[in-house]
Chains A and B, each alone.
Chain A
Amino acid sequence: MLLEVKKINTFYDLSHILFNVSLEIDKGETVCLLGRNGVGKTTIFRSIMGLTPPRSGSIRLYGDEIKGKKPYEIARLGVGLVPEDREIFPDLTVRENLEIAGKKGRKEKQTEDWTIEKVHRLFPILRDRNNQWGGTLSGGEQQMLTIARTLMGNPTLLLLDEPSEGLAPMITKTIEEQILLLKKEGLTILLSEQNSSFALRVSDRAYILEKGHILWQGKTSELREKPEIMMTYLGV
Chain B
Amino acid sequence: MTIEAFIGQALSGISVGMVLFLIAAGLSIIFGTLKVLNLAHGTIYMVGGFLCYILTSKLAHIPGAFWWALLFAPIAVALIGGVIEVLLLRRIYSQEMLYQYILTFALILILGDTCKFFFGVGYQTVSVPWPVNGNIALWGLSFPTYNLFLIGCGIVVFLGLSALMRYTSLGSIVRAVTHNRETANALGINVPRVYTGVFMLGSYLAGLAGTLMPPMSVVALGSDMAVIIECFIIVVIGGLGSLPGAFLGAIILGLLNAFGIYIIPKLALAFPFMLMIVILIIRPWGLLGKPE
Task: Tell whether A and B belong to one assembly.
Answer: yes
CB within 8 Å of B: which residues of A?
49, 51, 70-72, 75-76, 81, 83, 87, 89-92, 96-97, 99-101, 103, 149-150, 153
Contact of A92 among B175, B185, B190, B192 (CB under 8 A): B175
Q: Is the CB of B186 within 8 A of A75?
A: yes
Taking CB atoms, residues of chain A closer than 8 Å to B184 are 100
Q: How far is the CA of A100 from the CA of B187 in the complex (A)?
A: 8
Q: How far is the CA of A49 from the CA of B182 in the complex (A)?
A: 11
Flag if B187 contacts A101 (CB, 8 Å): yes
Given the known A-B contacts A83-B183, A100-B169, are A72 and B188 also in contact in the complex, defined by CB atoms under 8 Å? yes
Output the nearest chain A residue to B193 by Cβ-Cβ distance.
Answer: A72
Tally chain B residues at the interface, Cβ within 8 Å: 18
In the assembled complex, the CB of B285 is this many whole angstroms from the nearest CB of chain A, namely 15
Which secondary structure characterizes the binding site on chain B?
helix
CB atoms of B176 and A72 under 8 A apart: no
Known: A92-B175, A100-B176. A71 touches B186 (CB 8 A): yes
Residue contact B185 to A72, C-beta cutoff 8 Å = yes
Does B2 lie at the interface of the complex (its beta carbon under 8 Å from any beta carbon of A)?
A: no
Are the C-beta atoms of A71 and B179 separated by less than 8 Å? no
B residues 172-229 in Cβ contact with A at 8 Å: 172-173, 175-176, 179-180, 182-192
> 6 closest pairs, A vs B, by CB?
A75-B188, A71-B185, A87-B183, A101-B187, A96-B172, A71-B186
Interface centre among A81, A101, A153 (most CB of B within 10 A): A101
Q: How far is the CA of A90 from the CA of B169 in the complex (A)?
A: 16
For B185, give its contact among A70, A91, A99, A150 (CB under 8 Å).
A70
- Report the separation of the CA atoms of residues A71 and B183 in the bound assembly, to the nearest whole angstrom: 9
Could you tell me the distance in whole angstroms from the C-beta of A180 to the nearest C-beta in chain B? 24
Q: A100-B187, A103-B188, A150-B187 are in contact. Are A91 and B180 (CB under 8 A)?
A: no
CA–CA, A96 and B169, complex, Å: 8
CB<8 Å pairs between A and B, sample of 10? A70-B185, A72-B186, A72-B189, A72-B190, A76-B188, A81-B186, A89-B176, A89-B183, A100-B169, A153-B187
Q: Which A residues lie within 8 Å of B169 (CB)? A: 99-100
Q: Distance in Å from the Cβ of A185 to the closest Cβ of chain B?
A: 20
Closest chain A residue to B169, Cβ basis = A99
Q: Is the CB of B172 within 8 A of A100?
A: yes
Across the interface, do B186 and A49 meet the contact criterion of CB distance under 8 Å? yes
Contacting pair A92 B186 (CB below 8 A): no
Known: A70-B185, A72-B191, A96-B175. 9 other contacts (CB 8 A): A49-B186, A72-B189, A75-B187, A87-B183, A89-B180, A91-B175, A97-B176, A100-B189, A150-B187
Please determine whether A92 and B176 come into contact, CB atoms closer than 8 angstroms: yes
User: In the complex, how many angstroms separate the beta carbon of A53 from the nearest chain B beta carbon?
Assistant: 13
Interface hub of B184, B185, B187, B189 (most chain A Cβ within 10 A):
B187
Chain A residues with Cβ under 8 A from B188's Cβ? 72, 75-76, 101, 103, 153
Who on chain B is nearest to A52 by CB?
A: B182
Q: A80 vs B183: C-alpha distance in the bound complex, in angstroms?
A: 11
Please give, as numbers and ranges, the residues of chain A lying within 8 Å of B172 by CB-CB distance: 92, 96, 99-100
Query: Which residue of chain A has the shortest Cβ distance to B167 in the bound complex?
Result: A96
A46 CB, min distance to chain B CBs, angstroms: 9
When A89-B179, A96-B172 are in contact, do A149 and B186 touch as well, CB less than 8 Å?
no
Find chain B residues with CB under 8 A from A99 CB. Answer: 169, 172
Instruction: Kindly state the separation between the CA atoms of A25 and B187 in the bound complex, as whole angstroms.
Output: 21
